[in-house]
Amino acid sequence: EEQRTGSMTFGAGFSSVDSFIGFVEVTQGNFDLFNWPSFTGGGQKMRLRAQMGAERQDYELTFIEPWFMGKKLALSVDLYHRELSYVSENDYYDERRTGVRFGLSRALGSDFLIGGVSYTLENIGIFDVPIDAPQSIKDEEGDRLVSKVGLSLAFDTSNSVLLPDRGQRTEARVELAGGPFG
């Protein structure tokens, strides 16, 4: 008998960097992008997460197709938007990152050893830079489009991609970035 495959998680906390912070996350482990209106039964994975605090706002939508093109090849798509406020002794500025990441991964000889490739397109904006900020920060003000290609190798014994509660994951990743464009 099939059990529930969705969950909703929420929490709150306090840190010296972020002050008060809270999050809400909805996951579906048996998602089906094309089964409207229930969106269940396809074996895909979906996660929607929002995290908000005094110094940050993060929004992320993740979709994973574990059997892309009928093969044991996982396709992942991440859409995200992050806004962060940075405070230091002599300057203050805000950063906004909005992007999309496409990834393909597969097991390499063992289900625990996973290789992957990814492509990320990200808009990075530095704004609200005060007049008395150092010139190095003033020079970074504005938006830049950055393109990244990545390779990864992971050893993963965790029991879930979205909400693991057993096992471990160790990953090495390298990314090559280019930009600015435009």
59-76 per-position pLDDT tens digit: 999 999 999 998 989 999
Residue-wise pLDDT for 114-157, tens only, equals 999 999 999 999 988 888 888 888 888 999 999 999 999 999 99
Cα gap 157→148, rounded to integer Å: 27
Please check the confidence at residue 182 and state whether its pLDDT lies above 60: no
Tell me the pTM. Answer: 0.82
Q: Report how far Cα 47 is from the mean position of its chain's Cα atoms.
A: 10
d(CA 42, CA 101): 22
DSSP string, the chain: -PPP-EEEEEEEEEETTTEEEEEEEEEEEEE-TTSTTT-BSS-EEEEEEEEEESSEEEEEEEEEETTGGGSS-EEEEEEEEEEEEEE-SS-EEEEEEEEEEEEEEEESSSTTEEEEEEEEEEEEEEE---TTS-HHHHTT-EEEEEEEEEEEEEEE--S-SSS--SS-EEEEEEEEEEEEE-
pLDDT of residue 176: 94
β-bridge mates for residue 136, sequence order? none
Neighbours of 79 (CB within 10 A): 14
What is the reported pLDDT for 116?
Answer: 96
Give pLDDT tens digits for 7-61.
899 999 988 777 789 999 999 888 888 878 878 788 889 999 999 988 889 999 9
What is the pLDDT of the chain when averaged over all its residues? 88
Over residues 98-108, the mean pLDDT reads 96
How far is 26 from 34, CA to CA, in rounded Å?
A: 18
pLDDT band at 172 (very low <50, low <70, confident <90, very high): very high
C-alpha distance from residue 74 to each of 8, 26, 64, 104, 143 (Å): 24, 21, 7, 6, 32
